[in-house]
Amino acid sequence: MINHRDKGYATLHKIILWLVIFLWFWCSLRIWESLDYSLINLPWNYALVGLAGLVVATFGSLQQYGLFFIKNGWGRIRESILKANFQTSLIAFFVFASYFATKDNETSRLFLIFYISSSWPLLASLNFALPGFFKRVIGFQLINRKSLVIGDSQSVDALRSWIKRHAVQGFSFEGIFTTDDVKPSLVGLPWLGCFKKLEQYLTENKIHQLIILPNNETGNWIKLAAELGEKYGCRILVYNNLSGYFDSRLVFVEESGRQFFSFQNEPLESPFNQMVKRCFDLLISLPALIFILPPCMCLVKVSQIFQSRGPLFFTQERVGLGGRIFTIWKFRTMEFAEKGERDESEQAYPGDSRIFSFGAFMRRFSIDEIPQFLNVFRGEMSLVGPRPYLAKHDFIFQKDFKAYRIRQFVKPGVTGPAQCRGLRGEFTDPVLVKKRIELDFKYVGNWTIWLDCEIIIRTIGQVLFPPKSAY
């Protein structure tokens, strides 16, 4: 379930960014005019389209807001810069799209560049500073909200680090009641005695919330503790002790009126989200099939005639949604070989003699992937998703990585969360392979249409400036 406090922080963060960037446009305009440079035409137009770009960007770059608080200093700086990069890119896209759409020759492009480039440090600073500001200023109101921890001594000891960390993050722990009448070893919190004394303590003290730690022998004490909490106006937090048994994060779901835990949040289980993603796929793939694929086919075929005679396309079976096998389409980049003449699972490597010269160029700039828009149109793939692998590779990864098949909960993609970060090519480093799969898991559990937009924008950068692994 979403933490409503962190969701509220994220909403405030967005609103402040919107206001600051909108006001900064007018400040930039005043600075520009004071330097006696050429004036800007249609100022309200550019102020609003720049704001619209930021509005779109913040929906995609402020997901999982609460995770920011638990990162170290360098992690926060890195995330703040990445968010600012994405936000500034969309502002630039919207502003210059408006500039060319309106054919506005009277506005100085230098001013637009000045406004956009000066927005970047402002956004990076705010992305870094606002979460800490919220915790320090808004979070102070929670410090006086007194809490009690209730559970057996072993359960309390198991949560020692969590209790200490949250003692400075909005919880004021008054003490511990134990159900087994044994004093826990937790240093820093007073032991208030046996659970039987809880009602007397609540009568004499104002407590805001009870943190209940279930165990294997809960009996009726949890129900009694909940009833006492309701009687004395306490907020009840029940710790999910099942999470300690599993590597995956448990997610609360409801099915037919009954409540369950799941190992994976799945936004694309929603038919509405599926429809949005499918419309997005068709919106981009159809124009690509009509205007991009045909000229590319002609260009590639001509190069193949002179350098490597054989079929235009290369097809191969890959594993897709739900483990189903489908045929992926690519432009052929290697010397033609009849089926069965060579091992298709052998990956390309630097200096691979099987790749002809123009094929190497296509692979480097991902031109060979363009026919996969056919797979997208047919519904076998999506524009964005985990990259599909051969069944042989899938079998290997399934043995080495727990919950590997979670990535098959969604359609495979032409690009994905790993590829847009330069993690592509040969499986040579187990650490990088693990990182690819972890990024796929994160994508499955945190999908939004804005995340797809972000990945596509990142992918364009990877295509224009390919990494070393592009061969």
Residues in contact with 146: Cβ distance below 8 Å, sequence separation at least 6, in sequence order: 172, 173, 174, 205, 206, 207, 208, 209
pLDDT in tens, 262-295: 766 788 887 788 999 999 999 999 999 999 999 9
The amino acid that residue 301 corresponds to is K
pLDDT of residue 390: 86
Using CA atoms, how far apart are residues 463 and 471, in angstroms rounded to an integer? 12
Helical spans, DSSP H, in 64-135: 73-101, 109-133
pLDDT in tens, 206-247: 888 888 888 766 567 888 888 888 788 788 888 877 766 665
DSSP state of 260: E
Pairing of strands 258-262, 251-255: antiparallel
Q: Which of 443, 274, 284 has the alpha carbon at shortest distance from 370?
A: 284
Domains plus CATH for the chain? 4-138 (no CATH), 143-239 (3.40.50.1380), 271-464 (no CATH)
pLDDT in tens, 151-193: 888 777 777 777 776 665 556 788 888 888 788 876 567 888 8
pLDDT in tens, 13-60: 889 999 999 999 999 888 888 876 666 677 888 889 888 888 888 875
pLDDT of residue 248: 61
Using CA atoms, how far apart are residues 40 and 104, in angstroms rounded to an integer? 10
Using CA atoms, how far apart are residues 23 and 319, in angstroms rounded to an integer? 50
Residue 406 scores a pLDDT above 90 = no
Residues in contact with 133: Cβ distance below 8 Å, sequence separation at least 6, in sequence order: none
CB 320, CB 381: distance < 8 Å: yes
Residue 412 scores a pLDDT above 90 = yes
Using CA atoms, how far apart are residues 135 and 68, in angstroms rounded to an integer? 11
Using CA atoms, how far apart are residues 6 and 69, in angstroms rounded to an integer? 10
Using CA atoms, how far apart are residues 467 and 232, in angstroms rounded to an integer? 61
